[in-house]
Structure 1
């Protein structure tokens, strides 16, 4: 509770700093982390009078939902829903019922109904948005503790179109005229306990957070369910290069200059990598204390590796000829409030390279354009400065 309160005060400061320069058609949204350092959250105020809830942002999911106060999981003795908040539709004078059949399509199999109500995010209010209302978990034993629902930032796609009528926040904000472009730009902030990030919804991005040259890639064909699971926010990776104290190893993926699809998913705390890559990274970080444990999300390592003079080197991700992102090895070390350190780099089989989560995305300033179906990236610049500028007319172009 204490960490959330502290981070929320920081997020309020971000709103105040950015409010004077947020143009019409854009929303500036502060982000906070949970105590386990496994997720990032945005605050929503829903209903009349407004009820506050923090939702986990997720570029790997399309829908968003509110936790029902009546969900049996919320009434357990450990009160898992209290920290991030829940919603009681019976106390909102503007709430209306939209139907049954909602599913969040996550491993916990959350399900429920659809509601419509007034929603405020980043200080901007939009009426008549509709969303999932999570009444139950199919697997209550898997319910996250503390419990939070998902704020999806991708779009689902069929054979010809993406988005449409559904509980998709970006689509609804755009259709309502609240934002002028269906895009989200994301800054995760430093890998620190009380770090505050931010995202921009609409046709603007935060130039102050851009620490290198922007480059743009086309999203992996979202209309092809085999390549992209029928949703946006995947991009093709062609190579990984590991530099350990000057010794460079490169692994190529897929066809030359084509690569393989990878979901850029900040709803995932891990960076999943093939064993041929992690076999180089783990020793460079001094080795996993006690050896790699596949049942653990985070692997314990020495905090000495926070020092780039000790963890010498980097992992570079190549996106064909368009550009690349270099991640320092020291940036793959996460320090908890109790001064213990882990890495969220997780080893997978040799052919498994399909999800890049937070350890990669923290080193990137990313712009997900859901209308142009492109991802624009640059090396991140960690700063509290804010400089919102418009996405170029016609969008960023893939090289």
Structure 2
């Protein structure tokens, strides 16, 4: 993944403990563990800037909380050991009261990790499937606990990151925001289960979908097709780039006149190369499960250009390890509104309606038999927003934020 300064991550402010301690976390659809930095992990950074950022985004201190339960102290098998592309997180495990939103929703007995070593100065709130947790002993995820404790009626959430310049966005647990989606652009996709050799049944590990094709359209109106055979793609908000097949990436680098820079480890481009209304884009084509049609969702070249520092920009793209298995990170998830339905094992996504203040939250009821669009009412549900302007840091954090509830 791109791990360069200025590449965007999306953050949410939560509270942990009693009394509440303010902590900022990355929202990550590509993982399922919840963990936070502690005084030990912040002080372990060799770089003073990393340590400062760690302290700025919130350090959890279990000795200051009356609701902390230390699992590791009574059973050493409860350890935190998570590996990411950027490094590993080591520490202990326990349970706490976690607060989301304003006014707060207080989740009790939430299992989480306390980092003693971590690669970045910000913890992670994974919102994937429980089976994707890194620990041998699995616990309910934060989405599970919202459901189990009666705060939402369905294992479902809608994610709206808005465009690359946006200062706000939201995640809706238990529903989605109808006014953030371009009309008639919705695509229904089953989540692809992982099936091991010799097993007839699969299991759900990641938000994995089938991708039918990729097209790149340039300013001349020419469209070039790539990936004409079915591939698989993971929808990962914790990855800041698009992974593309090698032929598509080479073509994109050529038509954008990007140059690879060893220092940044990125494809550099002119920061003003593409206006927000550019007609150049990458199309991702999918087979709509609902009606059998083929539909595409577009990522503008404008959404690919991200700042590395005040005068340097790069394309948020990188080569896929294999051409038939891709990760669709920040640029794709900014360009699409995605509804992650864990009950129905379904992804519903449409083209994002950028920069709109309109909001119409649809709450999905319990025991829905038709997925997220079997909606009985339009009502408030749990909505959390990140706010704040993009900033440049040395670990790729872009949008700082607070959590609000409606």
The interval holding the TM-score normalised by the smaller chain is 0.7 to 0.9
Task: State the partner residue of 1:118.
Answer: 97
SS at match of 1:45: strand
Q: Runs of 5+ in structure 1 lacking a partner?
A: 1-33, 138-142, 159-163
SS at match of 1:104: strand
SS at match of 1:128: strand
Q: Does 1:152 align with 2:152?
A: no
> Is this contact kept in 2: 1:365–1:380, CA < 8 A?
yes
Q: Does 1:199 align with 2:171?
A: yes
- Compare relative contact order (CA 8 Å, sep 6+) and give the higher one, 1 or 2: 2
Q: Please report the TM-score for the alignment, with normalisation by the length of structure 2.
A: 0.77
Q: Hey, what's the Cα distance between the residues in 1 that align with 2:242 and 2:262?
A: 13
Q: Does 1:59 align with 2:29?
A: yes
Q: Tell me which of 248, 252, 261 is aligned to 2:223.
A: 248
**More moved, 102-111 vs 120-129:** 102-111
Assess, with a 3 A threshold, how the Cα gap between structure 1 residues 125 and 349 changes in structure 2: closer, same or farther.
Answer: closer
Q: Runs of 5+ in structure 2 lacking a partner?
A: 73-77, 288-292, 374-406
Task: State the partner residue of 2:349.
Answer: 377
SS at match of 2:54: coil
Q: Deviations over 1:3-51 (max 9, x none)?
A: xxxxxxxxxxxxxxxxxxxxxxxxxxxxxxx982321111110111110
Q: Deviations over 1:122-163 (max 9, x none)?
A: 2311222121111224xxxxx22xx111111111439xxxxx
Q: Tell me which of 103, 110, 119 is aligned to 1:129.
A: 110
CA-based RMSD: 3.0
Q: Hey, what's the Cα distance between the residues in 2 that align with 1:349 and 1:93?
A: 46
- CA-CA distance at 1:231 after TM superposition: 0.9
SS at match of 1:81: helix
Task: State the partner residue of 1:317.
Answer: 284
- CA-CA distance at 1:97 after TM superposition: 1.4
**More moved, 312-321 vs 112-121:** 312-321
SS at match of 2:84: coil
Task: State the partner residue of 2:40.
Answer: 70
SS at match of 1:150: strand
> Is this contact kept in 2: 1:62–1:168, CA < 8 A?
yes
> Is this contact kept in 1: 2:130–2:139, CA < 8 A?
no
Q: Hey, what's the Cα distance between the residues in 1 that align with 2:114 and 2:321?
A: 37
- CA-CA distance at 1:248 after TM superposition: 1.5
Q: Please report the TM-score for the alignment, with normalisation by the length of structure 1.
A: 0.78
Task: State the partner residue of 1:23.
Answer: none
Q: Deviations over 1:81-108 (max 9, x none)?
A: 1121110001101111123222223242
- CA-CA distance at 1:228 after TM superposition: 9.5
Q: Tell me which of 344, 357, 373 is aligned to 2:329.
A: 357
Q: Hey, what's the Cα distance between the residues in 2 that align with 1:350 and 1:305?
A: 29
Assess, with a 3 A threshold, how the Cα gap between structure 1 residues 170 and 322 changes in structure 2: closer, same or farther.
Answer: farther
> Is this contact kept in 2: 1:113–1:134, CA < 8 A?
yes
Question: How many residues align structurally?
Answer: 344
- CA-CA distance at 1:73 after TM superposition: 4.0
What stretches of structure 1 move > 6 A for 4+ residues in a row?
Answer: 225-229
Task: State the partner residue of 1:235.
Answer: 209
Task: State the partner residue of 1:386.
Answer: 359
Q: Hey, what's the Cα distance between the residues in 1 that align with 2:146 and 2:81?
A: 21
Q: Does 1:181 align with 2:160?
A: no
